[in-house]
A and B are shown apart, each in its own frame.
Chain A
Amino acid sequence: MANIQLDDLDRQLIDLLARDARVSNRKIATELGVTEGTVRGRIKRLQQDKLITFTAITGLQMASKSRLAFIWVQADVERTREVARLIADMDPVNAVMITMGSFNIMAMCLFDELDDLVEVASDRILAVPGVHHVETSIAVKTVKYNARVAKITESSPLDSDGD
């Protein structure tokens, strides 16, 4: 893991923007007692270092797919990365982790109809060469979920800040 040095100003910025990313640089500058240029520069650096990204999170009501499922996969250990990459490229899949435990890959996906989940888990993932076993579990109730902190990967939205 890269050695990341964030100071108090970075942290304050992240906190502020995590609540509402649409506040203007000017307002942030006033609130934190720094110049607009500093705010702009800091945001740009945090984005370039892939420490923050800006996005819109919508409620479940707006989502066409609103059920979450975990798909646990046992695959040949020597093919773990290759299999995980293939699963990550499947469209309905939202998250893929390589894990150490009873399963070596965990995928999460959002779905609407049970048929869609079965298609991803039992037809597509199970058919990937090197995959031996798949187990799914469906989240029936979410008690806690923090969407503000995540893993920023290549496929995360990248901002091209116009100004």
Chain B
Amino acid sequence: MKTDFTFDETDRLIVAELRKNGRATNQQIAERLGLTATTVSSRIRRMEDANQLRVVAVSDFAAHGYDVLMQLAIEVDSRPASEVAHELAQFPEVFAVHIVTGRYDIDALVVLHDFEDLSHFMLDRLGSIRGIRKIAPSIAVDIMRYQFDVAPIEARA
């Protein structure tokens, strides 16, 4: 959903400050950048209203009791991949779904509390979707880096 929103240098500087500390006050950001707190506040609001910025708390998987992370590469057969992807996206255990190029059609990030949840996910969730021909799972055993601060932003309800 592209709009004609444009960012200038001041916007970028404000975002850089917010990336360092999302809870810095408008006043603190203003002082650091030589702006007024009103400018900082209205710039942030403008970017938020255009759905181009969210300043949020990101919580660790562990804070939600999720101990099992895996990436599923999925091969689809006799069905549009996007239909399968949308059905996958309905499941709460599925945190990300991408349609991809390459050997497989869909890549999904699945997060579970423990391995006991796996049979339910496999049989009741994935088993309910038509058109999945093959699943190649990769279980995350360690995460060395995980840094995403660019993402599709949904409009606020």
Contact A56-B71, Cβ < 8 Å, known A139-B107, A149-B64: no
Whether a CB of chain A sits under 8 angstroms from the CB of B138 is yes
Q: Please, what's the 1-or-0 string for A43-86, where 1 marks a CB less than 8 Å from any CB in chain B? A: 00010001111111111111101101010000000000100110
Establish whether residues A137 and B145, one from each chain, have CB atoms under 8 Å apart when the complex forms: no
- The A/B interface has a contact count, at CB < 8 Å, of 274
CA distance A65 to B69 in the complex (A): 26
Smallest beta-carbon distance B97→chain A, Å: 4
Chain A residues positioned under 8 Å from B88 (CB to CB): 143-144
Establish whether residues B144 and A85, one from each chain, have CB atoms under 8 Å apart when the complex forms: yes
Whether a CB of chain A sits under 8 angstroms from the CB of B142 is yes
Contact A161-B144, Cβ < 8 Å, known A46-B63, A50-B60, A145-B152: no
Q: Please, what's the 1-or-0 string for B33-60, where 1 marks a CB less than 8 Å from any CB in chain A? A: 0000000000010010011111111111
Establish whether residues B22 and A148, one from each chain, have CB atoms under 8 Å apart when the complex forms: no
Smallest beta-carbon distance A147→chain B, Å: 4
Give the contacting residue for B144; candidates A61, A96, A152, A157; CB below 8 A: A96
Establish whether residues A62 and B7, one from each chain, have CB atoms under 8 Å apart when the complex forms: yes
Total contacting residues, chain A, CB less than 8 A: 76
Give the contacting residue for A19; candidates B7, B56, B63; CB below 8 A: B56
CA distance A6 to B145 in the complex (A): 24
Whether a CB of chain A sits under 8 angstroms from the CB of B10 is no
Closest to A152 in B: B60
Contact A57-B53, Cβ < 8 Å, known A1-B62, A136-B102, A150-B61: yes
Establish whether residues A97 and B102, one from each chain, have CB atoms under 8 Å apart when the complex forms: no
Contact A144-B89, Cβ < 8 Å, known A97-B71, A106-B138: yes
Whether a CB of chain A sits under 8 angstroms from the CB of B120 is no
The 8 closest A-B pairs by CB, nearest first: A54-B22, A137-B102, A101-B138, A17-B57, A56-B18, A139-B98, A99-B138, A151-B146
> What residues make up the interface of B, taking CB atoms closer than 8 Å to A?
2-3, 5, 7, 11, 15, 18-25, 28, 44, 47, 50-67, 69-71, 73, 82, 85-86, 88-89, 94-104, 107, 111, 136-153
